[in-house]
Amino acid sequence: MLLELNNSMVLAAGATEYTDSLVSFAWIMAAALLAPLISFMLGKRMPAVALLLIFGMIIGPSVLGLATEDAGIGMLKELGVGALFLLAGFEINLTTLRSKQAATGLSTWIICFIASAVGAYFLVDSTAVAIVMAIAVTSTALGTLTPMLKQDGLIGTKVGDSVMIHGAIGELAPVAAMALLLSTRSTLTTALILLAFLVIAVVVALAPGAIGGLSPWIKKAFISGAGSTNQTIMRLIVLMLAILMAVTAVFELDIVLGAFATGIILNRIIPGEYHKHLERRLDVLFYSLLIPVFFVVSGMSIDWEVIRDNPLKVLGLPLLILCTRGIPVFLRENVGHTGSEIESTRERIQVALYAATGLPIIVAVTTLAVNSGLLDQETASLFIAGGALTVAIFPLLASLIGPEKPSQKDDATNDDSD
């Protein structure tokens, strides 16, 4: 009898240690599976990403209360952010960021940011809050858009390339603005920290090749284990991601910066002929678990009561984002030579709608602002809900507005897409 009691106590102790996290995780993965099924049932008119956010809100504390974001779930969410931005960075060709189109995109973002910050300042009479709002409404969700662009066959087209450039700027510029303008440190200290991060990123980029050159057996071991249960190459990539995310966390920078840098590094050090193969493996690794967890948990932070009580504000935020981000991109594409070589008005509208799609940076900057006491949770919920609507609406409109077949750079690409 005493032995049975002791066994029961041990089982009970083991069951309660991670029970809440495991129950929440089960509901989160159920939402992650249900979203693409419902999206398919709706003819893919509603992006699965938007449904992940909606289902997250439903299972979250503000509606059914089936799942909560504790420390374990929060860690998975952070890894999901890292995975999302690694893939986005992996899609970026650094040569395009040195092009005239990239310079035009950066100047367009700066104009959007300054105008938004000035306008927000007159509304809230607070420089810090104005900067938070300006960063939120001028960001572009490149990590979120990348799978949508692939689904619509836009990768490698003029529209797709333009969106990738505007998206890269719409991710990196807001992250840099968060580090420089919202940091409690001095500007000089922050600049030095960013420089230190850049040095570490370069070391991380060069280390695999240097170690392989100095120790040929290590290179052979990596190649030998690449396709086996050891998965050495994939583990190296995850290690690089972990190191740069950890460095940004220690330096009190946004982890998006570390993840994005990892993706760009991989793009540079992996030979071009292996990109597609590696991309498929990364998609399997990240889209099956970490990325859907990020979106569902982000949806769980949306307060349904705030949305219900402020429907006009929620609906107005996508329009605000369109005016502060999408319309300036559209106007800039129509005025002067930007280097995009886009001639169709419909395609320019597509680019503008994609550029106005924002969410991860909105989640990041509002979370930072709430933790810093700059925003209350109600306002943050409104911004996240508004960002979620841009993900649900703008890519769908862009897909409907675009031509039946996206314009290709050359005939070879066109043949591939067919």
Listing DSSP states for 265-313 in one string gives HHHHHS-GGGHHHHHHHHHHHIIIIIHHHHHHHHHHTS-HHHHHH-HHH
pLDDT of 139 over the 80 cut: yes
Instruction: Give the Cα separation of 161 and 341 in Å (integer).
Output: 10
**Confidence at 68, pLDDT banded by 50, 70, 90:** very high
Q: pLDDT, tens digit, for every residue of 287-334?
A: 999 999 988 998 887 888 888 888 888 888 899 999 989 899 888 877
Mean pLDDT in the chain?
A: 81
Instruction: Give the Cα separation of 365 and 315 in Å (integer).
Output: 20
Residue keyed to tokens 């609906």: 315
- 3-state DSSP assignment of residue 157: strand
Q: What is the pLDDT of residue 400?
A: 81
Could you give the C-alpha distances from 401 to 191, 317, 338, 392, in angstroms and in order? 42, 22, 21, 15
Q: Is 168 exposed, middle or buried (0-12, 13-18, 19+ CB in 10 A)?
A: buried
Helix H or strand E segment including 337: none
Q: What is the pLDDT of residue 15?
A: 55
Q: What is the pLDDT of residue 38?
A: 92
pTM: 0.77
Higher pLDDT, residue 98 or 362 = 362
Q: What is the pLDDT of residue 411?
A: 43
Whether 61 contacts 306, CB under 8 Å:
no
Q: What is the pLDDT of residue 7?
A: 52
Angle at 98 between CA 104 and CA 403, to 5 degrees: 60
Local structure of residue 323 (DSSP, 8 states): I
Instruction: Give the Cα separation of 249 and 255 in Å (integer).
Output: 6
Buried b (16+ CB within 10 A) or exposed e, 89-101: bbbbeeebbebeb
Instruction: Give the Cα separation of 144 and 358 in Å (integer).
Output: 8
Mean pLDDT over 66-88 rounds to 89
pLDDT of 26 over the 90 cut: yes
**Confidence at 34, pLDDT banded by 50, 70, 90:** very high
Q: What is the pLDDT of residue 223?
A: 66
Domains and CATH numbers, the chain: 43-401 (1.20.1530.20)
Whether 391 contacts 359, CB under 8 Å:
yes
pLDDT of 9 over the 70 cut: no
Q: pLDDT, tens digit, for every residue of 388-412?
A: 888 878 888 888 886 654 444 444 4
